[in-house]
Structure 1
Amino acid sequence: MSNPQISKLTLAAFLFPLALVLFEFAVYLGNDLIQPAMLSVTRDFGVSSSWAPSAMSFYLLGGGCIAWLVGPLSDRIGRKKILLAGALFFTITCLLILLTSNIQSFLGLRFLQGMGLTVISAVGYAAVQENFEERTAIKVMAIMGNMTLFAPLLGPIIGAFMIDYVSWHWGFIGIAVLAVLAWLGLKVAMPNDQTSQLVKRPLNTIWSDFGKVFKNKRFIIMTSALPLACLPIMLWISLSPIMLVEKLGFSSMQYGLAQIPVLGALILGSVILVKVVDKYPLGQTILFGLPTMLIGALIILIGLFIPSYFVWTLIIGMTIMSFGEGICFSVLYRLAMMSSDVSKGTVASAMSMLMMFSYFIVLELSRILFENYALVAFSLCCLVLILLWFTLPLSMLKKVMKERTENGQF
């Protein structure tokens, strides 16, 4: 909310996003590190391993349920206060979960921990968009995305180590330490909110603000484009352990090596985006990235008809899809965020709710389909998600780009 916006990405300017990405990394580890250790958790509580997937579901559900309040509250009392309070709350819940003695209280605290997801997306991301000039904000988001990818890379490895050698409790202790460090960094480096820019309206106007946002056709379509673009990679992260290890017979080492090209391509796409975003009209990289993702999805589907090569088509297809997402997601996010004139905390909250509930529904539905149709279900889910993007989202993107051209915006 500071003014003027930062247009040059210097080291000093990046200290705030760096602190934010440390908190984001801790929150993502809260899923990527803990999920592999859930078999140990269920054993400790004496319950069936079928409870294990619920740890992720409750985490995402917690992220979606509090979004309606967090963003609008940050509009009124300031982004920094809410972000600092959120980081502290997340730390406390990570420590409290060490005291749980049954699966019900464990999942209850997982729900509360998931609220950290919304604090990042509805408050942290909004602060980045407000403090940085348009294209600089896109670069910052892309760099942050690259750094947080270390969570799905390191999380499963550390989680597997905990299962074999130490208690799962140490995972939450480590995450809490990272969150405390992030809190200190945010307290020092995050720009202070300008009182003159805080929303003066009372909290009882929240619903009318959300009404304006959700009645905005452009906002709904552009926001729906976000989960359509990133859910294939989320499906890979959630289902690849079962696909590669149980279905295709990979060893733990082979499973880890298979993640490198897929997630590495996502990083490469984001790096290229940072390099080219100033050279092309905003949105042009999306028109390249999504067709690229479609090619990757088709390669995976083709692999179903040549089973002896399916492993290769799966990894190659996912690598191509990851590259496509990397080169377009941050631009998509910016266009969705700016598609409504309502205060950005409310807009970011609305985006967070739509995205979190979309993730929850699609991941659960895909999990059920995968149980019955295995690799065919995964391949078709990826293809359908990308094909849906080529309907209303593509038309709206072209309309937005045309309006920007007419208004003299590059």
Structure 2
Amino acid sequence: MSEKKTNSYQTSWILLLALLTAIAPLSTDMYLPALPQMATDYAVSTILISNSLPAYFLGLALGQLIYGPVSDRIGRKVPLIFGLSLHVIASVLCIYVSDLNDLLFVRVLQALGSCVGLVLARAAIRDVLETNQAAKAFASMMIVMGVAPVIAPSLGAGLLTFFHWKSIFIALALLGVLALIWVLLQFKETLPQSRRLRLSFKDAGLLYGQIFKDVSFLYPMLAGCFSFGVLFCYINAASAVLMDGYHLSQKQFAFVFGLNAVGTMLLSAMNHKIEHKYSVVQRLKMGGWVQAGGGIILLFAAYISPLGLYAVMAGLFLAVAGIGLTAPNSTALAMSRQGRNAGTASALMGSLQFAFGMLSGILLVLLPFSPLVNLAWAMLLFVACENAMIYATQYDNEFNVISE
């Protein structure tokens, strides 16, 4: 492709990028309804089999840090082919492993492969499109990222109605094969030789460290990471709490999971409606308050049995929906002063968000209470840290405005 950026793109190209973006969230959520069945087959508890989620988050965190610098050096297409091939191989291996530790290992490999689409779809858009068209393309990517978690558990539950849980990983492997063939046939390299970076990996590591020390990036980035930690607590514990604890069927679980994802989308839409009335920091604080309210309701529901399932669902809805306000505003603040380091800062932020997903899984295993009580306390811990970082962000912004 030419170095000159354009104001147009083919629908088939954006559909391909949407598919590449969807593979990681589908691989995260599609098998959630199957966790109790998998726990039975592996002769472990549902909460232990749920450790395959933080294992997957570990792969997502590491992979994004790797693919960003590599693709800046050698182009986009070769890493895409490698990552998608790794995703297909690991998805097939998930069918055959018979030991929990082996499953955790192949889930890391699967994530290392599937996260390539998250990184390089964004990079390809930046490579070829002018700002206005890039904004539209990124909006399409955000729709995919919002819709995929809604439909993924329903797709998994649908497969479980007719087939064994291993069919879910077969479906994910076939999805990877489709994406790989599409990339081989139609994806044209978007990063010409003249624009490729010559930085060594040591230089890339030093740049990551430099960005991390910038408090204008650090505080809102950590606020966003702790907010995502709340979401990942929910994803990690949802099957044990709702299916084991409240005996929801696979279809009921998929409905509740989708409902909470819709809450996130509703608050994301509200974020746009109120952007002229409230500042970015104010909207970020609103999201923190919504998530705090959800965590408090969930804690009461965990200790007061008569409140029951509906109180749990209300608490989870608020805790998850609040991300619709915290995620876009923390990202906007973190990236606002990064300038030419925006690509590297974005990769660092995305990687750390999934690292917090891994941390949430570890915390849920270490807490000694029931799955519901563990979930409530873990969420409140993340919410408390999140709001501390939000107020640090507010102070930093006020100080810099006064200084300027």
The residue number in structure 2 matching 1:214 is: 212
Q: By how many angstroms is 1:386 displaced?
A: 1.7
- Comparing 268-277 and 23-32, the one that deviates more: 268-277
Alignment partner of 1:330 is 2:328:
yes
Alignment-derived partner of residue 265 in structure 2: 267
RMSD, matched Cα:
3.7
* Residue type at the aligned position of 1:60: F
Q: 1:405 to 1:22 in 2, by over 3 A?
A: farther
For 1:361 and 1:136, how far apart are their aligned partners in 2?
33
Query: Among 86, 109, 112, which residue is 2:106 paired with?
Result: 109
Partners of 1:96 and 1:139 lie apart in 2 by 34
Instruction: Provide the secondary structure at the position in 1 that maps to 2:312.
Output: helix
Is contact 1:84-1:183 (8 Å) kept? yes
The amino acid that maps onto 1:258 is: V
Rounded to whole Å, the distance in 1 between the matches of 2:21 and 2:69 is 20
Aligned amino acid, residue 396 of structure 1 = T
CA distance in 2, matches of 1:14, 1:274: 26
Report the Cα offset of residue 157 of structure 1: 1.0
- Matched residue count: 397
Hey, what's the Cα distance between the residues in 1 that align with 2:138 and 2:395?
19
Determine helix, strand or coil for the equivalent of 2:198. coil
Cα drift, residue 115 of structure 1: 0.6
For residues 296-339 of structure 1, what are the alpha-carbon distances to aligned partners after superposition, in whole Å with 9 as ceiling and x for unaligned? 22332343464312322221222223332123413323433455
SS in 2 for 1:243: helix
State the match for 2:143 in structure 1: 143
In the aligned structure 1, how far is the partner of 2:49 from the partner of 2:373? Answer: 24
**After the TM superposition, which residues 96-135 of structure 1 pair with which residues of structure 2 at under 5 Å, given as runs?**
96-98=93-95, 100=97, 105-128=102-125, 131=129, 132=131
Change beyond 3 A, Cα 1:26–1:117? closer
Alignment-derived partner of residue 94 in structure 1: 91
Deviation string, structure 1 residues 150-193 (Cα, Å, up to 9, x no partner)? 354325414633xxx43444322321222233345556467822
Q: Which runs of no fewer than 5 residues in structure 2 stay unpaired?
A: none
Match of 2:387 in 1: 390
Q: Structure 2 length normalisation: TM-score?
A: 0.80
Runs in 1 of length 4+ with deviation above 6 angstroms? 404-407
Percent identity, aligned pairs only, is 21
Pairing 1:140-289 to 2, within 5 Å after superposition = 140-158=140-158, 160-161=160-161, 165-183=162-180, 188=186, 192-273=190-271, 281-289=279-287
Q: Residue by residue, what CA displacement relative to the aligned partner does 1:100-157 show, whole Å, maximum 9, x if unpaired? A: 5665554433221111354244443455567555965774453232222235432541
Residue in 2 aligned with 1:290?
Answer: 288
1:395 partner SS = helix
1:57 is the counterpart of 2:58: no
CA contact (8 A) 2:284 2:390 kept: no
SS of match in other structure, 1:193? coil
Quickly say closer, same or farther: Cα 1:97–1:251, change in 2 above 3 A.
closer
Residue type at the aligned position of 2:349: M
Q: Give yes or no for contact 1:118–1:352 (8 Å, CA) kept in 2.
A: no
Give 1:28-39 correspondences, 5 Å limit: 28-37=25-34
Question: Structure 1 residues 326 and 37 mapped into 2: Cα distance closer, same or farther (>3 Å)?
Answer: same
Partners of 2:67 and 2:17 lie apart in 1 by 16
Whole-Å Cα distance in 2 between the matches of residues 358 and 15 of structure 1?
Answer: 34
In structure 1, what is the equivalent of residue 74 of structure 2?
A: 77
Q: Which residue identity lines up with residue 62 of structure 1 in the other structure?
A: G
Distance (Å, rounded) in 2 between the aligned partners of 1:400 and 1:76:
35
Equivalent in the alignment of 1:378: 375
Report the CA distance between 1:233 and its aligned residue: 2.5
How far the C-alpha of 1:60 sits from its partner, in A, is 2.2
What's the offset of the Cα at 1:214? 2.7
The aligned amino acid for 1:238 is N
Change over 3 Å in CA distance of 1:330–1:148 after alignment to 2: farther
- SS in structure 2 of the partner of residue 49 of structure 1: coil
Q: CA shift at 1:277, angstroms? A: 5.3
Instruction: Name the SS of the counterpart of 1:269 in structure 2.
Output: helix
Q: CA deviation at 1:365?
A: 0.9
Distance 1:64 1:265 in 2: 26
* Counterpart secondary structure, 2:361: helix
Rounded to whole Å, the distance in 1 between the matches of 2:318 and 2:233 is 15
Letter in 1 for 2:19: L
Residue 48 (structure 2) pairs with residue 48 (structure 1) = no
**CA distance, structure 2, for counterparts of residue 324 and residue 5 of structure 1:** 36
- Alpha carbons of structure 1 residues 48 and 90: separation in structure 2 relative to 1, 3 Å: same
Classify 1:107/1:241 alpha carbon distance in 2 versus 1 (closer, same or farther; 3 Å).
closer
Amino acid at match of 1:59: Y
TM-score, with structure 1 as normaliser:
0.79
Superposition deviation, residue 363 in structure 1: 1.7
Structure 1 residue 360 displacement after superposition: 0.8
